[in-house]
């Protein structure tokens, strides 16, 4: 089976700093990984994804790093802004459409 965990339930950063949110997964055969952002009272919003044939992918202000050796995934947010405050989930799948979600990390950005 697959279990997905996050290292920290809450991450507090100062506006302008970089944020790093981590995620560990258990199934070494997992082949697709996604980061979602969820604001209060809303559904998850897609941020960035990566497949197992890559180890890094960049978007606008965000970078996802995949380390298959240690089964670790991270999301880096550059120049964190107040609008980045939300709960961030990693989700993982293996050769299937179904996603297994991590427990979530709450990112708090203070001025």
Partner 1 sequence: GAVVSQHPSWVICKSGTSVKIECRSLDFQATTMFWYRQFPKQSLMLMATSNEGSKATYEQGVEKDKFLINHASLTLSTLTVTSAHPEDSSFYICSAYGESQPQHFGDGTRLSIL
Name the site residues for partner 1 (rule: CB under 8 A): 32, 34, 36, 41-46, 49, 89, 97-104
Q: Which is nearer to partner 1, 32 or 62 (CB)?
A: 32
* Identity of the residue, 12 or 18, whose beta carbon is nearer to partner 1 in the bound complex: 12
What minimum distance in Å lies between the beta carbon of 93 and partner 1?
8
Q: Give the residue from 61, 52, 29, 49 showing the smallest Cα distance to 91.
A: 49
Q: Which helix (H) or strand (E) holds 77?
A: strand 72-77
Nearest distance from C-beta of residue 74 to partner 1, angstroms: 18
Shortest distance, CB of residue 16 to partner 1, whole angstroms?
28
Rounded Cα distance between 47 and 43, Å, is 13
DSSP H or E stretch at residue 32: strand 32-38
Give the residue with the Cβ less far from partner 1, 13 or 99: 99
Shortest spacing between CB 60 and partner 1, in angstroms: 16
Q: Are 48 and 57 in contact (CB under 8 A)?
A: yes
CB of 16 or CB of 59, closer to partner 1: 59
Alpha-carbon Rg for the chain in angstroms: 13
């Amino acid at each position: 089976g697959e279990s997905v965990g996050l290292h920290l339930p809450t991450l507090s950063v100062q506006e302008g700093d970089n944020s790093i949110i981590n995620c560990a997964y258990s199934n070494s055969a997992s082949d697709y990984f996604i980061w979602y952002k969820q604001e209060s009272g809303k559904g998850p919003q897609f941020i960035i994804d990566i497949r197992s044939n890559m180890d890094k992918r960049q978007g606008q202000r965000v970078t996802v790093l995949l380390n298959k050796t240690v089964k670790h995934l991270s999301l880096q947010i550059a120049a964190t802004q107040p609008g980045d405050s939300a709960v961030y989930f990693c989700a993982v799948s293996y050769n299937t459409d179904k996603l297994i979600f991590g427990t979530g990390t709450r990112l708090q950005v203070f001025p």
